[in-house]
Amino acid sequence: MKRKSIINQLKLAYSPLSNYEFTILKKDKIIERIIDEASLYVIAQRAVISFENLIPLEDEFCIKFEIHQRGNPEKLKCKLPLNQVAIGSENLNNIGIAFNFIDKSQVNTELPHGNLHAFSLVELRRGKKEFLVWFSPEKLLQNWWNGFIDCEIEGDFKAFLNYKIHYVGKATKQSIFKRLTGHSTLQDILSLECPITYKDLPTQEIVILCFGFSDNLQVQSFGDNSSEKEMVDAVLCKDIPEKEFIFLDAEKALIKAMQPSYNKEMFNNYPISKDGLYKEDYNLISYTFIDPITLKYEYGDIKGGLSRVGGDTITVKNNNSFELIKH
């Protein structure tokens, strides 16, 4: 009997960006190129995350700090070496730190530093500052769990990666940055959603998560009536749908699973669709996240996982049954 399945693994194309960060970075062509392959995005909300008790340790040439989140009893204790290949600082011995304070009225000029939305590392050269890298707490964590940077982190880091979902969207015809610039639903969310923490600004709590595919694995078996061309096309991956259609299908699957309050179309008839994977007649379609994030919605949550298997999985069987399988 002929069978065909497609296993889709969604992965963050960049670290979660607060709306504040997005507003600053939306004209950054380098970051726009990084997320160019991403066409699915989620607008969510979480309490403000900050760097606290930051101290440079000159004898160890590193910085020591904690990561806190409003209303979260967990704390992460971290130590970041300043000489790293990924940062471009492996042979430097004169590195400065620039700070971005959350509340500009509470700037602390004495050690230890806190109330930090982000910090940047710069090379000090001939009286000038040469930018190296910037880190928000989420960017540091995402670079760390992907193995891009070295950092000692002690504590339950997954407790800082919970996101309340407001909207799921796609940007298949233009970049996500261009799609979100002037996005009316994003502006509605910023205007209408109450802050999780009293006095915090929504622009610091509302976040954008951009997703691409880590993998789209198609698995097929062939029956007695299968043609040689079908088998050759499968080996050469000629019969795998274009990424655009998989993204369109993924958007519908996520919206149906989570029913975000700001989405107008809930795709209750999914997997039936004109522009998704329905016409491909798969026996199994699955979607899973391979980052350690948790997407929270009114009736539950979807958890990702760091293994190749991922976390919770949305499945569609025989173009009919729809199910969220908890990992």
How wide is the angle at C-alpha 265 spanned by C-alphas 264 and 266, nearest 5°?
Answer: 115
E strands, the chain, are 3-12, 17-18, 40-45, 49-57, 62-69, 76-81, 95-101, 116-125, 128-135, 152-154, 162-170, 206-221, 284-289, 294-297, 300-303, 313-317, 321-325
Whole-number pLDDT of residue 224? 55
Quick one: which of 30, 34, 27 has its CA closest to 13?
34
Please report, as a single letter, which amino acid is at residue 166.
Answer: H
| SS3 readout for 55-68 | EEECCCCEEEEEEE
Q: What is d(CA 263, CA 26) in angstroms, rounded to the nearest whole number?
A: 23
The pLDDT of residue 34 is 87
Compute the half-sphere exposure of residue 134: CA atoms within 13 Å on the CB side of its CA.
15
The pLDDT of residue 235 is 52
Taking the C-alpha atoms of residue 280 and residue 239, their distance in angstroms, rounded to an integer, is: 9
Q: Give the length of the chain.
A: 327
pTM assigned to the model? 0.93
Digitized pLDDT (tens) for each residue of the chain, 327 residues in all = 678 899 999 999 999 999 999 999 988 888 888 888 899 999 999 999 999 999 999 999 999 999 999 999 999 999 999 999 999 998 888 999 999 999 877 777 788 999 999 999 999 987 788 999 999 999 999 999 999 999 999 999 999 999 999 999 999 888 898 889 888 999 999 999 999 998 899 999 999 999 999 988 887 765 556 565 655 555 555 568 999 999 999 999 999 999 999 999 999 999 999 999 999 999 999 999 999 999 999 999 999 998 878 899 999 999 999 999 998
Distance between terminal CA atoms of the chain?
A: 29
Structure tokens at 295: 């997407």
Q: State how far Cα 317 lies from the chain centre.
A: 27
CA distance 99 to 113: 9
Structural domain spans, the chain: 3-46+161-325, 49-157
Burial of residue 186, with CB atoms counted within 10 A of its CB: 0-12 exposed, 13-18 middle, 19 or more buried: buried
Scanning the structure block, which residue is given the tokens 């130590």?
79
Radius of gyration of the chain, Cα coordinates, nearest whole angstrom: 22
| Cα separation, 19 vs 39, whole angstroms | 18
In this prediction, residue 232 carries a pLDDT of 53
| Spatial contact of 111 and 55, defined as CB atoms under 8 Å apart | yes
